[in-house]
Chains A and B, each alone.
Chain A
Amino acid sequence: MRIIIAGMGDVGQHLAKQLSTESHDIIAIDTDSQRLNYIGSVTDILTINGSSTSINILNEAKVNRADLLVAVTSSEGVNMTTAMLAKKLGAHRTVARIGNDEYLDPQSGVNFSELGIDFMIYPEELAANETVNLILRTAATDILEFENGKLSVMGLKLDKNAPVINKKVVDVAREYHTSYFRIVAIYRNFKTIIPSGNDKFLPNDQVFVITTPGGIENILRLAGKENFSFHNIMILGGGKIGRKVAKVLQESMTVKLIESNEDKSFELADHLSKTLIIRGDGRDIDLLAQEGIIDMDAFIALTEDAETNIITCLMAKHLGVKKTIALVDKADYIPLTQTIGLDSLINKKLIAANNISRFIRKGEVVAIATLEGIDAEVLEYIAQPGSAITKKKIKQLGFPREAIIGGVIRRDQSFIAVGDTEINEYDKVVVFLLPAAAKSVEKFFHA
C-alpha cells in the first residue's frame, strides 16, 4: 500500500517504522529537514521536505496514487487541511489527528467525510479509555478488550512467589483449566517471546494471556495476584486525559485531582462536581501526604511531563500505593520504566499510532493494538468466506511460528482457540503476532 504520512513527530515516526517493516511504501512529509534526514536513514521510506498543506508538495508525493494519507503533525488545523486537500487531490482515504472531542460527536452536525476527512483520531481520548480500563482491572499491567470484553488480553507481571515460576507452559496448562485462557506471549529481557510448550516462566516475566471472562479468576491465581477493587484514586494533572479519566471514575470512586495551574483548577472544579480538585505541585511530597496518599488505592500521573509522572509514581509506589499508572509519551523511556518498577504505562502517541495502523491492514481487521514496550501486536480479524483459515483445523494450518491464534468470537460466544479448533466464516479471530509475521497472517484471512 502507498501511504503518505504528514508529520514526523513521535506518532509519525512510530507509524513509519512499523509500516515500512511490513513492506508498505511510505512517503513522509515534514517541514524539519533534520528530522527527515534522521528518519530517512533509519527506515526504508521516501522523505519530502516541505509543508503538507502545500499542493505542490502533496503532488510531489503523488497523493493521487496514495491509498491512505495520515496527517499527524502537532497542529490540528494543519492535519485537517492536509486531509481535505489530499482527498480532493485523489487520496483514497484520509486520517487526521485532532485535539478536540467535539469533532467526534455524531451529533455535531458536521459531516467530516464530506469535507474529505474519513477518520479522526483523538489520542487523548484513547489514552483516557485505556487508563480507565487499567483501573477497573487492577491486577493487570496491560489490558485490551475485544467485543465488549468477550475476549480480553491481559498483561501480568510474575512475582517471585507466583505459583507458576519455573514451571513449563505445558504443565501450567494441564494444572489450570486452560480452556478459559491461553498464554500468548512472554516479555523477558527486552525481548518478546511467542512461547512454545517447553518455555518456562521466570520471575519478573511479563506474561500476556488471552482470556474469556470466565478465565480471569484462574489467571490471577496463577500469577499470585488478586483482583481488588479500588475506592480511592488520586490523579495528577488535569489536562485533557486527566479530566476524562476523572469524569468516568468519579461516578464509582472517590477521586482527588491535583492540578498546579490556578485558572485550570477552577475550571476543573466547575466541570467535575464529584471530584475533589486540589491546587498544588504533585512533586511536593508534603502535599501528597496531606492529601492522604497512603490511603490511596491507585495513583495516576497524567501531566505533560514524562519525568514528573515517572518520579511521582515511584514516590507513590514507595509509599505503598497498590497501583500506579504513568503517562509517558517519550518512547525511549518505555523499556526503562518497566525495569524500575512502575506498574503500568500509558503512551498516547503509541496508542494513536496503533489506532491508525488499523486502517492500513486489509479490510478484514476490525481492531488492532500494541502492548506498551513490546514488539507484538494483537489483531482482531474477521474470517472471510473461503479464506484459508476456515479450511482446516488450527494445528493443520501451518500458521507462522511468530504468531498465535488466541481466541474466537462466534456470534455472542467467545472461546479460546486450541489445536483442534475449526474457524467458521465470519468468526472474529484474535491473533497475537510479531510484526514480521503480519503479511503471512493476513493471507490466511483473505478470501
Chain B
Amino acid sequence: MINYKVIFHIIGFLLILTGMFMLTGIPFSIYYGSDDIAALLISSFITALVGAAAWYLTRGRSSKEVTKREGYIIVTFGWIFMSLFGALPFIIHGAIPSFTDAFFETMSGFTTTGATILTDIEAMPYGLLFWRSLTQWLGGMGIIVLSLALLPLLGIGGMQLFIAEVPGPTKDKIHPRVRETAKRLWGIYFLLTLAESLLLFLGGMNLFDAITHSFTTMATGGFSTKNTSIGYYASPFIQYVIILFMFFAGINFTIHYYALHRRFDFFKTNDEFRFYSLFILIATLLVMITHLSLDVRSFEESFRQSLFHVVSLVTTTGFVTSDYENWAYFSRMIFFILLFVGGCAGSTGGGIKIIRHFVLLKNSLLELKRVVHPRAVIPVRVNGKSVSFEIISNMQAFFIFYILIFVLGSLIMSFIGLDFISALGAVATSLGNIGPGIGTVGPVANFAHIPVIGKWFLSFLMLLGRLELFTVLILFSPAFWKR
C-alpha cells in the first residue's frame, strides 16, 4: 500500500520552501529597478499557497513515516512539481512566454544542467536571473536534503529520501543521524559558496554576478548571467577561482567535511579523489597538445583555457570561456568523451561519476587476471576495502542503463530532426547534467531551436540524470507497483 498522504505532505512542504526562496531575488530587483517584482511575488504566493494547502490537508499521524517506495515517488514527483512551479516567475513576467521553454529552463536549473533556451540572457530582469541561478544552487545539494536539514520532518523516512536524492552508488553518512548529516552537508556547501562569492567579488565581479556565479559553480550547474558565460570575464584570476571551485564542487563532500576537521589523509587513501585529480590533469594535457599555438595564445592562456573546459565538463558544470567548437578535432573529441565522466560520488556533479568508472574499469582489468587464475579470489579494492559484488552489479546495471538511454535518446532526437552530432551532444549533455553539448547545441549556442517535444524529452533526461536513473526508472518497473 502506498501512502499518498505522506507523499503530498512532503511535496507540499517542498513547494512552500520553493515559494519562499523565490522571494530572495527581490532585493536585487529593487536595487536594479527591474520590473519582475510583481511576477516573483505572485509566483511565490501561488507556490507557497498550493504547497501549504497540500501540507495542511494531509497533516496527521500517518504523514510521518516514509517507506522505500514512497521515498522514490516523493523525490521524483517533488522535483517535477518544483520545476512546474519554479517556472511560474518566467511565465508570469513574460520573459519566457512559452510554458515548454520555461519548464525546460527551470528543470535545467534544478537538475544543475545549465542548458538554456535563452538567446539573450543579459536582457532578462535581475530578479529572474537571480531565481534562475538559485534553482541550480537548490538543486545542487538537493532541496530534499535541505528540507531534511531544516525540519525534524521525518525520522526514519528521512533516510529513504536521502538515499533517493543524494548521488553516488554508496551513501556516506557523516553523522549517525540523517538530519545532522544533511545539516553538515548544507553547511559546507554554504561556506564554500560564500568563500567563492567573496573571491569573485574581490576579483572584480559585482556583488550580483559574484553571488549568482558562485551559486551555479558550487552546484556544478553552469547558468551564467552573461551571454558569453565566463568568457565575459577576461580576468585570469576570476577564471582560476571558478576552476578551483568547480573542482571543489566535483569532490565528494565528505572529503570537505574531513578537511574542515583537519584530516587530510584522503590525499593518500581516497582512490576516487586521486583518480579524479589525475584524470583532470591528463585530459588537460591532452587537450593542450592540439590547443597550444604560441603565436596566438601564451602558454598560460592555453593551459588555462584547456584546464577550464576540462574541469567544467568533468564536474558537469558547463561554464565556457571560449567556443571550443573552433578547436582542433582532437580536443573536441576529448570534450565529447568528457560528457560521460561526471564528478565524484557525493559531490554536486552529475554524470556517470568517477567512482563507477574507477570500479568498473578495475573490475574489467581484474577480469583478465581472473581468466588466468580461475580459482583465485580477486576482489576489487577501493580505498583499501573490497567492494561487494552487489555494488559492482548495481554499477554495471547503472552503466548499461546510462549507455542504453543515451543511444535511445540520440535516436529519438535525430528522429525529431536534429543532425547527427547535435543529437548526440544534446542527449549526452542533458543526461549528464552538463549544459553545453556539441554541434548546434554547442558552447556558445543554445537549445531554443529544439522542437517542443524535444525540449520535454530532454527535460525528462535531465531529471533521470540528476536522480541517477534508478530513482526515476524504478517508477516504470511493474515490480514497483505490485503489492
Contacts and interface: CB of A to CB of B under 8 A. Distances in A.
B13 to A, nearest CB: 18
Contacts of B388: 33
A41 B159 contact: yes
Given A46-B175, A46-B176, A41 B158 contact: no
A67 B159 CA distance: 24
A1 to B, nearest CB: 11
A377 to B, nearest CB: 17
Contacts of A44: 155-156, 158-159, 176-179
A25 B68 CA distance: 22
B385 to A, nearest CB: 10
Interface in B323-363: none
Interface residues of A, number: 15
Interface in A1-60: 2, 20-21, 23, 25-27, 33, 40-46
B271 interface: no
B173 A46 contact: yes
A21 B159 contact: no
B209 interface: no
B166 to A, nearest CB: 14
B158 A25 contact: no
A296 to B, nearest CB: 43
Contact of A20 (B160, B173, B175, B177): B177
A21 B155 contact: yes
A45 B176 contact: yes
B156 A43 contact: yes
B180 interface: yes
Nearest to A191: B61
B175 to A, nearest CB: 7
A180 B388 CA distance: 61
A16 B218 CA distance: 36
Q: Which of A33, A40, A41, A46 has the most CB of B within 10 A?
A: A46
B71 to A, nearest CB: 10
Contacts of B152: 23
A25 B175 contact: yes
A43 B176 CA distance: 10
Interface in B384-436: 388
A41 B176 contact: no
Nearest to A27: B176
A20 B179 CA distance: 12
Contact of A23 (B159, B160, B163, B177): B177
A41 B160 CA distance: 7
Contacts, number: 38
A26 B176 contact: yes
Nearest to A26: B176
B63 to A, nearest CB: 14
Contacts of B175: 25, 46
Contact of B68 (A20, A40, A41, A45): A41
Contacts of A43: 156, 159
A403 to B, nearest CB: 16
Interface string B151-178: 0100110111001000000000101111
A44 B158 CA distance: 8
Nearest to A23: B177
B155 A25 contact: no
Interface residues of B, number: 16
B156 A25 contact: no
B60 to A, nearest CB: 14
A25 B180 contact: yes
Contact of A21 (B156, B160, B176): B156
Nearest to A62: B176
Chain A interface main SS type: mixed
A314 B179 CA distance: 46
Contacts of B163: 41
A43 B173 CA distance: 13
A194 B266 CA distance: 52
A193 to B, nearest CB: 12
Interface string B137-160: 000000000000000100110111
B180 to A, nearest CB: 7
A39 to B, nearest CB: 11
B393 to A, nearest CB: 15
Contact of A25 (B159, B160, B177): B177
A43 to B, nearest CB: 6
Contacts of A2: 176
Contacts of B68: 41
A372 B70 CA distance: 30
Nearest to B171: A40
Interface in A38-88: 40-46
Nearest to A3: B176
Contacts of A20: 155-156, 176-177
A51 B388 CA distance: 18
Contacts of B160: 41
Contacts of A40: 159
Contacts of A45: 176-177
Nearest to B178: A44
Contacts of A33: 388
Contacts of A23: 152, 155, 177
Contacts of B177: 20, 23, 25, 44-45
B208 to A, nearest CB: 40
Nearest to A436: B64
A40 B177 CA distance: 11
A41 B68 CA distance: 9
A70 to B, nearest CB: 14
A44 to B, nearest CB: 5
Contacts of B156: 20-21, 42-44
A15 B177 CA distance: 15
Interface string A140-176: 0000000000000000000000000000000000000
A25 B179 CA distance: 11
Nearest to B388: A33
Nearest to A42: B156
A136 B388 CA distance: 54
A219 to B, nearest CB: 30
Contacts of A27: 176
Interface in B2-45: none
A235 B178 CA distance: 47
A205 B156 CA distance: 30
Q: Which of A21, A23, A26, A33 has the most CB of B within 10 A?
A: A23
Contacts of B159: 40-41, 43-44
Contacts of B180: 25
B441 to A, nearest CB: 40
B24 to A, nearest CB: 30
Nearest to A4: B176
B379 to A, nearest CB: 14
B178 to A, nearest CB: 5
A44 B68 CA distance: 13
Interface string B175-188: 11111100000000
A42 B177 CA distance: 12
Contacts of B155: 20-21, 23, 44
Contacts of A42: 156
A23 B179 CA distance: 10
16 contacts: A2-B176, A20-B155, A20-B156, A20-B176, A21-B155, A23-B155, A25-B175, A25-B180, A33-B388, A40-B159, A41-B68, A44-B158, A44-B176, A44-B178, A44-B179, A46-B175
Given A21-B155, A23-B177, A44-B156, 11 more contacts: A20-B155, A23-B155, A25-B175, A25-B176, A33-B388, A41-B68, A44-B155, A44-B178, A44-B179, A45-B177, A46-B173
Sort A-B residue pairs by CB-CB distance and give the 6 closest, nearest first.
A46-B176, A25-B176, A44-B178, A46-B173, A44-B177, A21-B155
Interface of A: 2, 20-21, 23, 25-27, 33, 40-46
